[in-house]
Amino acid sequence: MKIIMLGAPGAGKGTQAKMLAAKYEIPHISTGDIFRANIKNGTELGAKAKEYMDKGLLVPDELVVDLIMDRFKADDCKKGYILDGFPRTIPQAEALDKALTAVGESIDYAINVEVPDENIVNRMSGRRACVGCGATYHIKYSPTKVEGKCDTCGADLIIRDDDKPETVLNRLNIYHEQTQPLIDYYSAKGVMKEVDGTVDMNDVFDAIVAILGE
């Protein structure tokens, strides 16, 4: 089962991808997780990716394509995989299709988690990160016991650059311009499915499972 998760930044597609990966026992391949790991480890790729992510821009194709294609060759992808954060553009989707076609495979489902921009700005601008241990919170959905202080280590909380409203809006504008066309692309291929991402995450999960089957 080869699945692509679509949805704007902050729509919750990453959370759904992880839950689906656990249920169907296939790997969750997230470019975001790969980028963050590289940033944390101070790699050259991480430094390059951080420059774009801090500005709310998409990471260029050349930094991700080879990495994703190599990932497909791993043994844990034999039963399928869930792609989260790739492809982001039509050229990437075409490159993915070309690579899959070459080995006689294709994407089975493209799942779009639909959430209005206003909801996303409210979600992401409410996030807070600890400067000490890196723990994350949300002022509405998972607040700390003491405002502005981490529950775990007591250090100050900050709004990360990529969670600031102006950055979120910039990321959304880029998404609509570059990534939204993927919905039309996969619809034309007959694999596009859409779910309401504004409801409880467990209800979103149940809706996706109903599409994919037990």
pLDDT per residue rounded down to tens, the chain (214 residues) = 999 999 998 899 988 999 999 999 999 988 777 777 778 888 887 888 888 888 888 788 878 776 777 678 789 989 999 998 889 889 999 988 988 898 899 999 999 999 999 999 988 889 999 999 989 999 988 899 999 999 999 999 999 988 888 999 998 998 888 888 999 999 999 999 999 999 999 999 999 999 998 7
Alpha helices in 25-61 (DSSP H): 31-40, 44-54
83-113 confidence digits (pLDDT tens): 988 898 899 999 889 888 988 999 999 999 9
Strands 109-114 and 2-6: parallel
> Could you tell me which residues are beta bridge partners of residue 83?
4, 29
What CA–CA distance (Å, rounded) separates 141 from 163? Answer: 15
- Give the sign of the dihedral formed by CA 117, CA 123, CA 129, CA 135: negative
Active-site residue identified among 13, 50, 123, 128: 13
| From 50, 123, 128, 171, active-site residue | 171
127 labelled catalytic: yes
What's the pLDDT score for residue 198? 94
What is d(CA 167, CA 175) in angstroms, rounded to the nearest whole number?
Answer: 12
- Whether 36 is catalytic is no
Q: Under a CB-based contact definition with an 8 Å cutoff, are residues 120 and 148 in contact?
A: no
Report the pLDDT value the prediction gives residue 79, as an integer from 0 to 100: 92
Q: Per CATH, is 2-124+162-212 categorized as 3.40.50.300?
A: yes
Question: Catalytic one among 50, 123, 127, 128?
Answer: 127
Q: Write the DSSP assignment of 165-191 as a string of letters.
A: HHHHHHHHHHIIIIITHHHHHHHHTT-
Whether pTM > 0.85 for this model: the answer is: no
CB atoms within 10 A of CB 204: 24
What pLDDT was estimated at residue 151? 96
**213, HSE (Cβ side, Cα atoms, 13 Å):** 3
pLDDT of residue 179: 81
Cα separation values, 1 from 41, 70, 177, 192, Å: 32, 18, 29, 14
Helix (H, G, I), strand (E, B) or coil at 209: helix
Q: What is residue 53's predicted lDDT score, i.e. its pLDDT?
A: 83
- 10 Å CB burial of residue 169 (0-12, 13-18, 19+) is middle
> Which residue of the set 160, 164, 189, 193 is catalytic?
160
